[in-house]
Amino acid sequence: MDGSWLKTFILYCHSIVYIVQLFYNRKKTMSRIIAIANQKGGVGKTTTAVNLATGLAIAEKKTLLVDLDPQANATSGLGIRIENNQKSIYELLIDSISPEDIFLPTEVPFLDIIPSSITLVGAEIELVNIENRELALRDSAREFFRKYDYVILDNPPSLGLLTINSLTTADSVIVPIQCEYYALEGLSQLLNTVRLVQQHLNPDLKIEGAVMTMYDSRLNLARQVEDNIRTYFEGKVFNTIINRNVRLCEAPSYGKPIFLYDITSRGAENYLALAQELLVHDSTA
């Protein structure tokens, strides 16, 4: 066989391998900012934000959880207590304090948090007087967020300025939906808000998908609600379903994500599956 032909062939193979490696590394380092949003209260936003973020960190993805809710449930759910001089998301939004001076490590490797505190209650009102008030989070933190593989934004139960800031900053939104009779109530308002943000503030915002939470397979109603949700979201529903699981309720009172509280629980299994589904989704997107 002609030697030069062989050399060309080997060079060709090397080039292919190099391009595949480049592509793979690009995927690996791609940064994703995901808002967890639903203006309905108590549907599992914070439980999803805390445990999805922890699941991603367990997969060794550098992850940041950002608590944008004055109730600060994600903050306390990870066992973080705001001391007197600790700054929070409030200072980031209102005083433009750098996120570098606010973020904290957590007891989970690969997981950091930007905490919230009750002072955030005032932010919604104070933001009204700030120029570009819908862009406060994006302007102060998006560059910092890009240092992470995943940034998970936990939102309050409203479609006010905090949630708008979150949607303006995010690449995509995950909508947790509690599998109950009124599950679909208010969703049109939420999707309308997403559309408005896409039109005016963040054209790249995508709907990552809906996640069914607190599912109780013993109830016929749960299956009906599941069908309705799948029809409503036209396939944009995660295959993973989060079952009702008492360990998920208990974990926050110990300041622990489900994986540190009870790794053998159904809740841990479900949230790990959700994190895996998201990772697979992103690697094939």
One residue of 106, 117, 163, 213 binding ligand ATP per CB under 6 A: 213
Q: Which residues within the stretch 219-278 sit at the binding site for ligand ATP (CB under 6 A)?
A: 242, 244-245, 248-249, 252
Handedness of CA 160, 147, 59, 78 (dihedral sign): negative
Amino acid at 277: E
Contact status: 40 vs Mg ion (CB under 5 A): no
Contact status: 41 vs ligand ATP (CB under 6 A): yes
Question: Residues in contact with Mg ion, total (CB under 5 A)?
Answer: 3
One residue of 37, 40, 43, 46 binding Mg ion per CB under 5 A: 46
136 makes contact, choosing from Mg ion, ligand ATP, none, with CB < 5 to 8 Å by partner type, with none
One residue of 32, 45, 61, 138 binding ligand ATP per CB under 6 A: 45
Q: Select from 26-34, 43-51, 92-100, 163-171 the region that touches ligand ATP (CB under 6 A).
A: 43-51
CB of 99 to ligand ATP, least distance (A): 22
Q: Which residues within the stretch 73-92 sit at the binding site for Mg ion (CB under 5 A)?
A: 73
109 makes contact, choosing from Mg ion, ligand ATP, none, with CB < 5 to 8 Å by partner type, with none
